[in-house]
Structure 1
């Protein structure tokens, strides 16, 4: 099977590539990186651990026009809602009237805790919209059916990066001490004070528990981007502290699954890493120190039995998620790709209907026009005025864009925090 993955960040490439490999092991997987602020670096791509048959970097217009899509069996749209909707319009125009077109699939990289209706309607029109759990399937159906969108497009699966290796609570610690991993997020919390608080509590825990290793698991290095802008990088904040860090506290990068292999307690505000640790049966702490709030996403975990705080962790708390909750969240799925494989086989065996995004230039002209213009497309899905300029950019122009992106991120992560610190912000 030939599967093409469009991704706009390292996280969504990890999701799309993992989905492709899990769906059809041995498939030919092609990577298309959407050119933009969060285009992953070579290091970020290598960290995922999946090597594609080919890799390109393109605008949305360039991707939709790519000749290689003619032979694609499946296209996985691993992009934010607006880009996914624009891609549906561009691909609808590309394959209009064609006797054959690939199956279009999209979904969510992690838990869906905000803007659910907005995100679902932007993804409507794909042949398959993935729900990561029975809970999500019920919620997605409640949005689609009243609006006349076929609920048959919703297919239940599970997050493809949930590792099968179970946590062994009886293991010995000959190789390493009891290890606490604080899985950080680029934008939760978003403000400097909140992030400094989290860093200080991790440092305090390391000092209170000198027999433990405390890992601060970072998503991206200073100057790199991921799905969300990280204005106050934890490693940069640590450099601004007056006191030295305890020797048992370490900043780590790399594959999350490999980090969990040495972890005994996963601590986070609301990172998807919590689903990975819960899947393994590992103690998982969802922090409530800054409140259980929709803006933080930790409200999603209220039924898990894992909501706690740093003080309780200092005192030895190591909560285990309730079994009933993990089952409903798709964390304990025994055959995550079974239904999806069946649906793919069914769709491949018959002519596919025209691609019909939910929003059109007639039903939502302002909304659709804005979404598409931002991504270099006209309201009918054709390349917009900026597309020709984008195609003409040579290697030097692309290199300049990379330099400017790194410079911007350096300013956000290092210069701006200093200015705010001096100004007492």
Structure 2
């Protein structure tokens, strides 16, 4: 376990998707700017590809793919000062239980940190209780911190792990407004909205906006390419929907990929349903619209933006409307423009938003001994829920590796590794085909 005499701190990040890797790695840099960063990609449905990792742009000193049960078993992988769990709630809960079991006889252990990659608009109680047991649960805003503590207090669990900070990837050059918008970006989301009709509608409206304004460039910013997965499953990729639009895309409208920060460098109007990209855009002072065309509904996540001043429809945007955000709402969301700074600036207030988290982590890391992680969910409090979650990651109800997972095969080399990787990619492709093509068809048949 880590020694208090370390001169160069080490931070490990375990992530299970491209967006969570981005959040985890950048959070690690905020907590320890000069630390060695060792990255681990949790093997599963959304394990990021090389292209996705390159697009995210968050670098590590080492990076490898691993199973959750192996991460828990091989203590060398957690010989660090701070461990950031940048995973879905179930994976965080499994790792907390597994590591608590692995560390049960250790005097010292890493400080365990977790949190959310962006806007928290669904499964608030479920996701939070699955993250309980980490030493630090980061809240990206004052608004989230209040909600998180209320959930923990509501079940009688300690809430002192909740620490307010901000999203770690806000930043970029201040926006300088032209006389009229030149570049409009529609930030698409993998799972919002879900239906073909709704997604086709949004795509069609973006295309119509381009046709109405031939002097503007309309960019449809996509998170992944067909066959890739991100944090959420995308059953109806916009690439396929675009190929079926009558007349196709006009010359001033195109699909784009790439780092969101770089796309925002040339954006004059950001349009989305509920993407976290809206907060990135607002932070830089870019006019930002959260669409109401499909209603303001919890299922869409745009209810999170109530009171923001950003709610608007495509009809309003077509007519020239540019939303003006409410400063008080921005301040509660941890956005720099709402923290006393001039519009479009990234002030010292944003940098200081991480001070409390750094102080808490440093205080815990300096302790002679940390108590074992104590999650709210245990075999006593959730006997019908917890065992299934842990079993998905190869752990028994007490966090010990299950017999069927305990004897993990050694890393293969040469042709064996090539064959293993080929089989794994084929299996992933089959799974993605089932998720994206077969499952929706079965659901449609069931509705006949």
With normalisation by structure 2, the TM-score equals 0.89
| Deviation readout 1:327-380 (Å, 9 max, x if unpaired) | 011112511211111111111121211111111112211211111112211111
Q: Residues 223 and 407 of structure 1 are in contact (CA less than 8 Å); yes or no, is this contact kept in structure 2?
A: no
Q: Distance in 2 between matches of 1:412 and 1:372?
A: 23
Q: Which residue of 2 aligns with 1:356?
A: 374
**Secondary structure of 1:90's aligned partner:** helix
| Deviation readout 1:11-70 (Å, 9 max, x if unpaired) | 100000110112221221111111110000011111111221111211111111233335
Q: Which residue of 1 aligns with 2:356?
A: 339
Shift of 1:324: 0.7
Find the partner of 1:119 among 124, 127, 145: 127
1:161 equivalent in alignment to 2:179: no
Q: Which residue of 2 aligns with 1:37?
A: 45
Moved more, 209-218 or 348-357: 348-357
Q: How does 1:9-408 map to 2 (within 5 A)?
A: 9-169=17-177, 171=178, 178-332=182-336, 334=349, 335-350=352-367, 351-388=369-406, 391=409, 394=412, 395=417, 396-408=419-431
| Deviation readout 1:204-248 (Å, 9 max, x if unpaired) | 100000000000000000111111111111011111223131000
Q: Distance in 2 between matches of 1:34 and 1:383?
A: 16
Structure 2 unmatched runs, 5+: 1-8, 340-348
Q: Distance in 2 between matches of 1:199 and 1:63?
A: 41
Q: Distance in 1 between matches of 2:441 and 2:397?
A: 42
Structure 1 residues 419 and 125, CA, compared in 2 at 3 Å: closer, same or farther?
A: closer
Q: Distance in 1 between matches of 2:421 and 2:397?
A: 26
Q: Distance in 2 between matches of 1:381 and 1:181?
A: 45
Q: Residues 172 and 265 of structure 2 are in contact (CA less than 8 Å); yes or no, is this contact kept in structure 1?
A: no
Q: Residues 73 and 102 of structure 1 are in contact (CA less than 8 Å); yes or no, is this contact kept in structure 2?
A: yes
Shift of 1:393: 7.5
Shift of 1:391: 3.4
Structure 1 residues 244 and 117, CA, compared in 2 at 3 Å: closer, same or farther?
A: closer
**Secondary structure of 2:254's aligned partner:** strand
Q: Distance in 1 between matches of 2:397 and 2:159?
A: 26
Q: Residues 4 and 30 of structure 1 are in contact (CA less than 8 Å); yes or no, is this contact kept in structure 2?
A: yes
Q: Distance in 2 between matches of 1:198 and 1:252?
A: 16
Q: Residues 187 and 230 of structure 1 are in contact (CA less than 8 Å); yes or no, is this contact kept in structure 2?
A: yes
Q: Distance in 2 between matches of 1:251 and 1:75?
A: 37
**Secondary structure of 2:409's aligned partner:** helix
Structure 1 residues 206 and 103, CA, compared in 2 at 3 Å: closer, same or farther?
A: same
Runs of 4+ in 1 over 2 A off after TM superposition: 66-71, 145-151, 388-399, 406-425
Q: Residues 236 and 413 of structure 1 are in contact (CA less than 8 Å); yes or no, is this contact kept in structure 2?
A: no
Q: Residues 278 and 284 of structure 1 are in contact (CA less than 8 Å); yes or no, is this contact kept in structure 2?
A: yes
**Secondary structure of 2:37's aligned partner:** strand
**Secondary structure of 1:365's aligned partner:** coil
| Deviation readout 1:151-202 (Å, 9 max, x if unpaired) | 2211111000111422111x479xxx71000000000001111111111111
